Copies of this chain bind each other. A is one copy, B any other.
Amino acid sequence: MKLMEEKIWQECKILSGSVLKVSSFLNHQLDTQFIMELGKEFARLFAKEAPTKILTIESSGIAIAFAAGAAMKIPVLFAKKHKTSNVSGETYHSVVHSYTHDCDYTVIVESEYLRPGDRVLLIDDFLANGNALEGLLDIVSQAGAVAVGAGVAIEKGFQEGGKRLRASGLRVEPLAVINYMDDYGVVFD
């Protein structure tokens, strides 16, 4: 998606050669008009899969997933990283390793919101090692639902997540793929 690549070129910063900072528009400050366009693009890409629900993880996936859900007129469910006082009843959960923060965390979804028969589209801001999406896939599987694909705003193509997920049979649609990055810039696929 040209729009996504142009936005990254215009606004991203690269920290320590490996952290792509897109906080001005994607995951701290949110460019609402731009993200609504991303949502429409995901709706176009996955229309034939007829998803019934979108699943993402708090916090940085929420806005993109919400825009996609608004475009597709389907609900969004965001997995929580902490059990809060308003989580009651049965839950599905899965342990995810974060390479960014070098720790494990548990993602939690209340089971009443994900059911057999749901056709689930996964959405997230980044795909790198793929652990977050694999945690969501685990939750979809626990629910007896079907994952119809994964849409990510930015894939780091030089990391292994995308390859592994596609090899497992999942359709993965990134809006931009970065094949190389260093202190000076990024190279797209």
Judge whether A15 and B88 touch: CB under 8 Å: yes
Q: Is A76 an interface residue (CB 8 A)?
A: yes
Q: Is the interface of A mostly helix, strand, loop or mixed?
A: mixed
Q: Is the CB of B30 within 8 A of A69?
A: yes
Contact of A66 among B35, B74, B88 (CB under 8 A): B35
Interface size class of A (residues with CB under 8 A): 35 or more
> Which chain B residues lie closer than 8 Å to A29 at the CB level?
75-77, 113
Residues of chain B lying within 8 A (CB to CB) of residue A59:
58-59, 62, 78, 80
The answer to whether B113 touches A75, judged by C-beta atoms less than 8 angstroms apart, is no
The residue on B at minimum CB distance from A18 is B85
A86-B30 in contact given A58-B59, A63-B63, A66-B63 (Cβ < 8 Å): no
Return chain B residues, CB-CB under 8 Å to A172.
Answer: none
* A176 is an interface residue with CB less than 8 A from chain B: no
- Provide the bound-state CA to CA distance between A31 and B86, in Å: 17
List chain B residues, Cβ under 8 A from A73: 32-33
B84 pairs with A32, CB closer than 8 A: no
Q: Is the CB of B88 within 8 A of A32?
A: no
Residue of B nearest to A114 (CB): B29
- Is B100 touching A85 in the complex (CB atoms < 8 A)? yes
Q: Which residues of B contact A31 (CB under 8 A)?
A: 75
- The answer to whether A77 touches B32, judged by C-beta atoms less than 8 angstroms apart, is no
User: A76 is contacted by which of B63, B74, B78, B88 (Cβ under 8 Å)?
Assistant: B63
Q: Which of B22, B63, B86 sits near A27, CB closer than 8 Å?
A: B86
Q: Which of B20, B28, B32 is the one whose CB lies under 8 Å from A113?
A: B28
A-B pairs with beta carbons under 8 Å apart, 11 shown: A15-B85, A15-B88, A21-B86, A21-B88, A23-B113, A25-B75, A29-B76, A29-B113, A59-B80, A66-B66, A85-B100
5 closest A-B pairs by CB: A58-B59, A32-B69, A30-B76, A59-B59, A32-B70
